[in-house]
Amino acid sequence: MDFASFIGIISGLALIISAIFLGSSDIAIFLNIPGIMIVIGGTIAATLVTFQFKDTMSAFRAAFIVFSQDKQNPQAMIATMLQITKIARREGLVALSRVDADSPFLKRAMNMASDASDEDYIRKTLQADIDSLKMRHYVIQDVFKKMGLYAPAFGMLGTLIGLIQMLAQLDNPESIGPSMAVALLTTFYGSLLSTVIFNPIAGKLKARTILEIQTLEIIRDGTVSLLGSNNYLAVYERLSSYVPAHQRKPAGMGE
């Protein structure tokens, strides 16, 4: 589980709720069912108009995966590719087809390498997969980015509705204060969802996409380097450029 994301959302909500309790003894004044319906219902409706239903559902599934799984470690994939280089040198390229890999992308790369496919063909094929993943992830990120825009907009819309209803009752001065408070609640709901939920999720998805793409690029370059020279140090030098110098592990020539 990604505890940083979990702690961030929980602490953000906790601080806001604590501030509400400290500033008011009546928490009920912050609850308005019609306002919640306008903001949440309107945001979902606008999102479904903007995106296909399957893309919207994929976005929510992706968000769940991001928060339930640990992030990928490029350093671990570099170590895997170096281990594969040792296997190729000891047993030949044909042995790569027997490499046990959880990643379908890595398995595909190993199968093409074991078939002695052309380096340029392998590079272009794997790059096409990476580009396709970028586009899919862009749509998923965009779902939450758009929701982060729609929520405050529907909050403002709810506020305008409340103000219209309030102005229709100007002959009753006692109702103006409570009506204004209710009108402003929808703006509060929209801003809360945007800043604490939707935009942070979009940012987290983007960060995870960058890590995943980096991992796939390590597999791509590692496979091509392995076919080109099949040299442990050459593969290490090529792949180590993907991590900062102070995080690089020694080559460890354990052949």
**193 has pLDDT over 60:** yes
177 domain residue, yes or no: no
CB 74 within 8 A of CB 214: yes
Residue 179 in domain: no
Query: Which of 248, 233, 238, 246 is CA-nearest to residue 218?
Result: 238
pLDDT score of 94: 85
Q: By C-alpha distance, which of 248, 63, 236 is closest to 147?
A: 63
**Is 102 a member of any domain?**
yes
Residues 231-247, mean pLDDT to the nearest whole number: 80
27 found inside a domain: no
Structure confidence by residue, pLDDT tens digits, 227-236: 876 678 888 8
Domain count of the fold of the chain: 1
> Poorest-confidence range of 80-94, 142-156, 164-178, 181-195?
164-178
Residue 38, in any domain of the structure: yes
Instruction: Report the first-to-last Cα separation within the chain, whole angstroms.
Output: 35
Q: Is residue 169 part of a domain?
A: no
Q: Which domain holds residue 199?
A: 34-157+187-247
What pTM value is reported for the model? 0.81
143 domain residue, yes or no? yes
- Tens digits of per-residue pLDDT, 155-168? 999 898 888 878 87
As given in the structure block, the two tokens for residue 49 are 């108009």
CA-atom Rg of the chain in angstroms: 26
Task: Give the lowest-confidence range in 35-39, 66-70, 129-133, 202-206.
Answer: 66-70
Tell me which DSSP letter residue 72 carries.
P
Structural domain includes residue 231:
yes
Residues of the chain with pLDDT > 90: what percent?
35
